[in-house]
């Protein structure tokens, strides 16, 4: 895949209720004005007749799946799924620090950094909100660790803040103490030009049509959930392989 293709959004799913798009790094999900480049504008330009509302958002540097509700029923149902804990997301993140435990939970609250309102901190403070991230080690190399991250809450910069607080900041995340370069033992240098974080999977109860619109919720069976995957973007794949990993490791 070329760099131009790597930078292009990709439609993963489209029906009457939902549109799910694979967002490239470097493109924000939304923007303050309708003229600034963002994923929402990309959707509006390609589907001018749709009223698409982004029900999930990824930071500009983060790649992966973003869900758009196309009806009020779908929007409400997905919000209900989030509240019920049945809207599940799986992220892949690379850190060049060691992670001692193979799995665990990070539960520091997230607050606004008093020195920078665009930044967040782990711990009590202004705008404090509870946050929970479940993690497991997906793969290890002598130079890096691949994490599989499952946020149980959806706070701003949650995964990035929690990883940094755990002593494993994400590779390329200079806002949260993450290194951008790694010198390997043989002298070669691996560079992360963005945060190495990718939303690889979303799963939620099926949104059904009709006047009321509904989700199967906790009563759903395997056949009543939608599960969508997106492969890691080529830039993340290249970085992970340069750090000694295999492309096959980058699975949700």
**Residues annotated catalytic, as ranges:** 59
**Is residue 41 within a helix (H) or strand (E), and if so which, with residue range?**
helix 39-46
Task: Please give the structure tokens belonging to residue 116.
Answer: 């920078």
65, 199 contact by CB (below 8 A): yes
Q: Name residues whose C-beta falls within 8 Å of residue 197's C-beta, 6 or more positions apart in sequence.
A: 59, 61, 62, 63, 91, 92, 93, 159, 160, 170, 173
- β-partners of residue 21 are 11, 66
The CA distances from residue 230 to 15, 46, 129, 250, in Å, are 18, 21, 29, 10
Q: Rounded to an integer, what distance in angstroms lies between the CA atom of residue 55 and that of residue 73? A: 12
């Amino acid at each position: 895949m070329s760099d131009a293709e790597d930078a292009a959004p990709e439609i993963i799913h489209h029906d009457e209720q939902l549109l799910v798009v694979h967002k490239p790094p470097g493109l924000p999900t939304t923007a303050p004005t309708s003229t600034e480049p963002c994923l929402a504008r990309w959707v509006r330009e390609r589907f001018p007749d749709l009223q698409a509302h982004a029900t999930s958002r990824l930071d500009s540097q983060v790649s992966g799946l973003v869900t758009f509700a196309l009806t009020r029923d779908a929007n409400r149902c997905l919000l209900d799924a989030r509240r019920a804990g049945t809207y599940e997301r799986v992220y892949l993140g690379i850190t060049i620090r060691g992670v001692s435990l193979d799995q665990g939970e990070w539960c520091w609250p997230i607050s606004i950094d008093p020195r920078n309102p665009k930044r967040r901190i782990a711990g009590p403070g202004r705008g404090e909100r509870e946050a929970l991230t479940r993690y497991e080690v997906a793969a290890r190399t002598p130079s890096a660790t691949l994490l599989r991250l499952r946020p149980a809450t959806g706070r701003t910069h949650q995964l990035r803040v929690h990883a940094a607080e755990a002593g494993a900041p994400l590779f390329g995340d200079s806002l949260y103490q993450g290194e951008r370069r790694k010198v390997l033992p043989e002298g070669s240098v691996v560079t992360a030009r963005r945060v190495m974080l990718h939303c690889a999977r979303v799963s939620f109860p099926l949104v059904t049509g009709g006047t009321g619109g509904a989700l199967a919720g906790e009563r759903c069976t395997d056949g009543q959930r939608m599960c969508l995957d997106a492969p890691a973007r080529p830039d993340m794949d290249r970085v992970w392989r340069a750090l000694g990993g295999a492309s096959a490791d980058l699975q949700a």
